[in-house]
Structure 1
Amino acid sequence: MIKSMTGFGKSILQLPTKKITIEVKSLNSKNLDLNARIPSQYREKELEMRRTIAKTLERGKVDFSLYVEVTADENSTRINQEIVTDYIKQLNAIHPSSNTLELMKMAVKMPDALKTVRAEVDITEFEAIKKGLSEALQGIESYRTDEGKALEKDLTIRIDNIASLLEKVIEIDHERIEVVKDRLRKAVSELKEQVDENRFEQELVYYLEKFDITEEKVRLANHIEYFMTTLNTKDSNGKKLGFITQEIGREINTIGSKSNHAPMQQLVVQMKDELEKIKEQLLNIL
């Protein structure tokens, strides 16, 4: 079973004083590239959340976002009373005034008049966030699995097409050899020179060995079978499938270079076309 690296998961938590939205999105990447956007108050828990995401998703370009919307009276900004009082005294000393309200308006605009109280992350709240993150990851995993099924179906069709084209290559291989032999005999006859038939046959055998594709046909068939076996394993093996695809491409290229026969080269071109489509799909497999 294979999985796509593309996916999206979302979870919404409604807590007593705030609404928290968790989103996880992933695209294809060679390794895990995790980008996290979370409020500063949860920074101390970022590493733990990153580990949870990495363990579940393994690979891909991942964007993790945590949004907080305060739904009740909760204000983390406080007036620094001592500093504001001191500002009022200083302002009153510079210009004595009985209008304390005006002095206060000026004082609260001065540096450090307001301070932000950084609250510790509540244990109960973070447990809820972890549960929400787990739900979002389950959503993205479900998305990846569904996408993987579609990719698996397409890959199966493509590799079956290559297998069918290989069968056609095997069918015309004998004909190809005969065509090459006839071409060589015709070329020799046109020389209008007396040729030692025994020597000619020896040279012909040596020449034809260069065009023999028996090993390539066997190896290609084995690689195709290995590809299908790996495709049907329980784990998603995108990288392994990529390595097998490289070997398949190597055998197809060798058959093409040795064929020296137009009908076979046409089959090779079709196999290459199917293989390129497989490579494109593999880029998105976990």
Structure 2
Amino acid sequence: MVQSMTGYGALKREVQGMRVSVEIKSLNSKYLELNLKLPRQYAHKELFIRNECNKLIERGKATITIIAEPLETALVSSLAINEPLLTAYYRSLERIATELGADRSELLKLALSMPEATGGEENQAGEEEWEATWNVFLEAIAVFNRFRADEGAVLDKDLRLRVNNIKNYLSEIETAEPQRIPLIRERLEGLMKEYVGSENVDQNRFEQELVFYIDKLDITEEKVRLRSHCDYFLSVLDDKVSNGKKLGFISQEMGREINTLGSKAYDAAIQQLVVQMKEELEKIKEQVLNLV
């Protein structure tokens, strides 16, 4: 089961006298890049959250926003105003506004938003409050992962189609291949007659060189390995755990075999099929970059 690195999950809950909002967004990235936006009372939990996200999100450029605010009924009792500091902020802002001739109507609101103007000393959240908030976070992660799984299902379907297309092209190459060697032999014999003359050709030596040359152009190993890589790719798609990196490595190996097929083909029909394989493989590589 594959998962997309693109994901979104958002959730709001009222717990422990708090209104908790969690939003999780992620885009593609080679590794896990985590941008955390936390309330001050949860700052001491940042390392814990990062460690857990390594397991819960794995890969992607993720932005996580957690907001925890007191409910209106608990707001007054929970709000502590640092009056001396608030007064100092207000007077400083008032003086600056007077000097600049600026609007003074929003000074109190601005002063309240200044660091430590409310809340007195910065307090850490209690364990019960944190546990309730963490449970909301885990619910949001579940929503986020469902989004990723739905996106992954679409990618899975497309990847299977592309890999099976490559296997079908490979079958067409196997159908066309028996005609390839006789055509190569005929072409070489014609060149020898044209440039050397049939009476000057040592037939035994020619046959030896021909066998050596045709052996160099044999594509049996490439066909076997390519089909094996395709089957392995499909089996990894069936794994319970999404593994975009492994699929990326397999697609690189598929590319090597396809390139070798093209370089050894010396047949217009087979080379056309190789080009179509390459088109499918490029689409596979693009999609694999979207997987966890």
Scaled by the length of structure 2, the TM-score of the pair is 0.83
C-alpha displacement at 1:57, in angstroms? 1.2
- In structure 1, C-alpha distance between the alignment counterparts of 2:162 and 2:129, rounded to whole Å: 49
Gaps of 5+ in 2: 89-110
Alignment of 1:1-286 (within 5 A): 1-15=1-15, 17-70=17-70, 71=72, 72-73=75-76, 74-80=78-84, 116-193=120-197, 194-286=200-292
Q: Secondary structure at the match of 2:82?
A: strand
> 2:21, 2:66 within 8 Å by CA — same for their partners in 1?
yes
- Post-superposition CA distance 1:85-141 (Å, at most 9, x none): xxxxxxxxxxxxxxxxxxxxxxx9xxx996733123122221111011000100011
2:172 is aligned with what amino acid?
A: K
C-alpha displacement at 1:66, in angstroms? 1.2
- In structure 2, C-alpha distance between the alignment counterparts of 1:141 and 1:16, rounded to whole Å: 26
Q: Secondary structure at the match of 1:62?
A: strand
Judging changes above 3 Å, is the alpha-carbon distance between structure 1 residues 214 and 239 closer, same or farther for their aligned structure 2 residues? same
C-alpha displacement at 1:261, in angstroms? 1.1
- In structure 1, C-alpha distance between the alignment counterparts of 2:13 and 2:220, rounded to whole Å: 63
Q: Tell which deviates more after alignment, 40-49 or 70-79.
A: 70-79
Q: Secondary structure at the match of 2:19?
A: strand
C-alpha displacement at 1:78, in angstroms? 1.8
Q: Secondary structure at the match of 1:76?
A: coil
- In structure 1, C-alpha distance between the alignment counterparts of 2:3 and 2:265, rounded to whole Å: 37
1:217 is aligned with what amino acid?
A: K
C-alpha displacement at 1:17, in angstroms? 5.0
1:220 is aligned with what amino acid?
A: L
- Post-superposition CA distance 1:231-271 (Å, at most 9, x none): 11211121111111111100000000111111111000000
User: Among the aligned pairs, what percent are the same residue?
Assistant: 45
RMSD: 2.3
Q: Secondary structure at the match of 1:67?
A: strand
C-alpha displacement at 1:192, in angstroms? 4.8
The aligned residue for residue 87 of structure 1 is none
2:215 is aligned with what amino acid?
A: E
2:187 is aligned with what amino acid?
A: R
Q: Secondary structure at the match of 1:8?
A: strand
Q: Tell which deviates more after alignment, 180-189 or 39-48.
A: 39-48
1:203 is aligned with what amino acid?
A: E
Gaps of 5+ in 1: 85-107
> 1:79, 1:113 within 8 Å by CA — same for their partners in 2?
no
> 2:4, 2:149 within 8 Å by CA — same for their partners in 1?
yes
- In structure 2, C-alpha distance between the alignment counterparts of 1:3 and 1:162, rounded to whole Å: 23
Judging changes above 3 Å, is the alpha-carbon distance between structure 1 residues 64 and 35 closer, same or farther for their aligned structure 2 residues? same
C-alpha displacement at 1:146, in angstroms? 1.0
- Post-superposition CA distance 1:65-97 (Å, at most 9, x none): 11244432242322239x99xxxxxxxxxxxxx
Scaled by the length of structure 1, the TM-score of the pair is 0.85
- In structure 2, C-alpha distance between the alignment counterparts of 1:284 and 1:125, rounded to whole Å: 36
- How many pairs were matched up? 260
> 1:165, 1:271 within 8 Å by CA — same for their partners in 2?
yes
1:138 is aligned with what amino acid?
A: A
Q: Secondary structure at the match of 1:190?
A: helix
